[in-house]
Amino acid sequence: MKTLKTILVTLFLTTALNAQYTAFKVEVVGNGDPILLFPGFACTGEVWNETVAELSKTHQCHIFTLAGFGGVKPIELPWLPKIKDEIISYVKNENLQKPTIIGHSLGGTLGFWLAAEETMLFKKVIAVDALPASGALMVPNYKSENMVYDNPQSKMMLEMSDEAFTAMANQMASFMVINKEKVPQLVNWMKTAHRGTYVYGYVDLLKLDLREAIANIQVPVTVLAATYPDKKMIESTYKAQFDKLPSVQIEYADNSAHFVMFDQPEWYLAKIKQHLK
């Protein structure tokens, strides 16, 4: 059991640490080789609670919540490039030695970006249901340069009533997780997100196309991919998007939607531990 002194020291260090950075909040738990845990879009670091409970026994877990989400103060645009640059500063300033990146969705894509740009800074990337170019999957006739902040969809979402936004969040969450007990948590994360960050940050994600840049990655990359609703289509998508990184290891989680850690928790944790070794 933690002593009061340990709790106070941890609280002080965490407060001092977060005072240095504006693009995210970090909680540090455990001791050992460092792991950076990046949540998916609109999620908070709480998405990693079960993961951290296990991994912090043997590793030092740095749990991120990104600006604009989970009550963290929003930052100016461009949102995602600022986060990427500040994470690099964080790793260097805190003298973290070859941290492993574990990222879900946006967090996994962010991991690919970091490893492609800073080829010697990280040990490996473990991505949970993440692609190098999400926009290419979602936008017909996709071109990165066409993804701009000022567009009809963004305007509509910014002006959407809270009731309409909640209804949209419920619909999205129901598709992203099979474990329906987790739907209210996903909806709450989306509802409490800063609306401007939710809208424009998503444009940043859609704009990011790393399909060529991943060729620069020199560390091991593993992807734990969801298979719902069509495994064959998903396998084809991953094969195409990782064409420039043939060394990637992709493992497919059967009977799992986007939140693999919630739909197949035992399989997921076993694979995380396997690839950390």
Diameter of the chain measured on Cα atoms: 57
Percent of the chain exceeding pLDDT 70 equals 93
- Are 125 and 221 spatial neighbours (Cβ–Cβ below 8 Å)? yes
**Per-residue confidence band for 277, with pLDDT thresholds at 50, 70 and 90:** confident
- Has residue 1 got a pLDDT over 60? no
Query: What is the per-residue pLDDT for 7?
Result: 53
DSSP-derived letter for residue 146 is: G
Q: What is the mean pLDDT of residues 239-259?
A: 98
Q: What is the distance between the alpha carbons of residues 259 and 111, in angstroms, rounded to a whole number?
A: 17
Q: What is the distance between the alpha carbons of residues 179 and 259, in angstroms, rounded to a whole number?
A: 9
**Per-residue confidence band for 114, with pLDDT thresholds at 50, 70 and 90:** very high
Query: What is the per-residue pLDDT for 20?
Result: 84
Residue written as token pair 């949540």 = 39
Q: What is the distance between the alpha carbons of residues 226 and 123, in angstroms, rounded to a whole number?
A: 24
Say whether 217 sits in a helix, a strand or coil. Answer: coil
Q: pLDDT digits over 9-67, tens only?
A: 455 555 556 668 999 999 999 999 999 999 999 999 999 999 999 999 999 999 999 99
Q: What is the distance between the alpha carbons of residues 248 and 221, in angstroms, rounded to a whole number?
A: 5
pTM recorded for the entire structure: 0.93
Pairing of the two strands 24-29 and 59-66? antiparallel
Domain-wise residue ranges, the chain: 21-276
Over the chain, what is the mean pLDDT? 94
What architecture is the 21-276 domain classified under in CATH?
A: 3-Layer(aba) Sandwich (3.40)
Whether the bond between 229 and the residue before it is cis, its omega within 30 degrees of 0, is yes
